[in-house]
């Protein structure tokens, strides 16, 4: 996408603290995500890589959008409904979608790459853009979601009814980008499969193998039908062995690039990204505040 668009890749540390974080871990993970983005191929000469909390315009526009958002809209968001039964849910989780809308609208975004579970958030973003524009005058673009079909919803390796999440209590349920090759092979080997042994794509009757096939397709570039044909006379064992090879082959170069990056070089990239992002975000926020009636500084 960075070959055809100007990409803004934001490290969402403000969203991270909707769940309590240890300061040292938050700091480490923020730099770690930046390193991963670079290792995965984002080019700071073509894309703007920045940390959310370093651009104050995000929280300021997020607050303005809060005042346009009925609380019922936020309470209906799927992710809030899933988590609100847990003890200790904080207000930040409820307001997460308005901050996400600010993240998007500040950069006049045309498209937003998301998973299937985030489409609802993009719909709210469009709604808030329309509300602001209708009340104060044309200001924000209405963005569209960009969803990759095969990986719109990657499910857990131990339970194909739940989405894959690095916050899972079971490390065997997900593949981390920095997992050692043998760890990846072991996790794939013990991943849940369906009854029978046919490698065939069917989300209803074979949800586990279908999930693994989607992962295989994403890492190999081979279509689902081609995968079925490739393993038509083979069982789950051989398929899993090949899947592990494909994943290790794709992730090993990323891990090498990750290890070669220094903290100083990453901070230099983020500083450059902060300046580029702030220039656009501040301009958008200034226009929005002026139209909403705030005094100029």
- The residues annotated with a catalytic role in the active site are 83, 163, 166
d(CA 105, CA 62): 10
Give the CA angle between residues 39, 42, 46 to the nearest 5°: 145
Query: 3-state DSSP call for residue 42?
Result: coil
**CA dihedral for 186, 192, 196, 197, sign (positive or negative):** negative
> Nearest Cα to 124, choosing from 60, 66, 58?
66
Note whether 65 and 95 are within 8 A (CB): no
Radius of gyration of the chain (CA): 21
Token pair of 68 as six digits: 């346009």
């Amino acid at each position: 996408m960075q070959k055809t668009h100007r990409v803004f890749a934001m490290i969402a540390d403000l969203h991270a603290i909707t769940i309590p974080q240890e300061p040292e871990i938050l700091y480490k993970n923020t730099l770690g995500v930046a390193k991963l983005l670079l290792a995965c191929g984002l080019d700071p000469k073509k894309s703007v890589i920045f940390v959310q909390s370093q651009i104050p315009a995000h929280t300021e526009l997020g607050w303005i959008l809060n005042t346009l958002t009925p609380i019922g809209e936020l309470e209906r968001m799927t992710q809030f409904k899933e988590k609100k039964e847990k003890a200790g849910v904080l207000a930040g989780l409820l307001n997460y979608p308005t901050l996400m809308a600010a993240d998007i609208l500040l950069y006049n975004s045309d498209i937003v790459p998301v998973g299937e579970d985030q489409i609802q958030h993009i719909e709210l973003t469009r709604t808030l853009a329309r509300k602001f524009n209708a009340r104060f005058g044309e200001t924000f673009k209405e963005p569209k979601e960009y969803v990759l079909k095969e990986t719109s919803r990657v499910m857990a390796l131990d339970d194909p009814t739940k989405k894959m999440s690095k916050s899972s209590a079971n490390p065997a349920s997900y593949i981390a980008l920095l997992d050692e090759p043998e760890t990846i092979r072991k996790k794939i080997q013990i991943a849940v499969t369906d009854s029978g042994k046919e490698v065939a794509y069917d989300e209803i009757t074979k949800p586990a193998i279908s999930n693994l096939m989607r992962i295989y397709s994403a890492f190999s570039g081979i279509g689902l039908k081609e995968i079925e044909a490739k393993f038509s006379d083979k069982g789950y064992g051989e398929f899993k062995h090949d899947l592990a090879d494909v994943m290790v082959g794709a992730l090993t170069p990323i891990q090498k690039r990750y290890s070669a990056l220094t903290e100083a070089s990453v901070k230099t990239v983020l500083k450059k990204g902060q300046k580029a992002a702030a220039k656009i975000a501040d301009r958008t926020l200034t226009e929005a505040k002026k139209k909403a009636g705030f005094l100029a500084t």
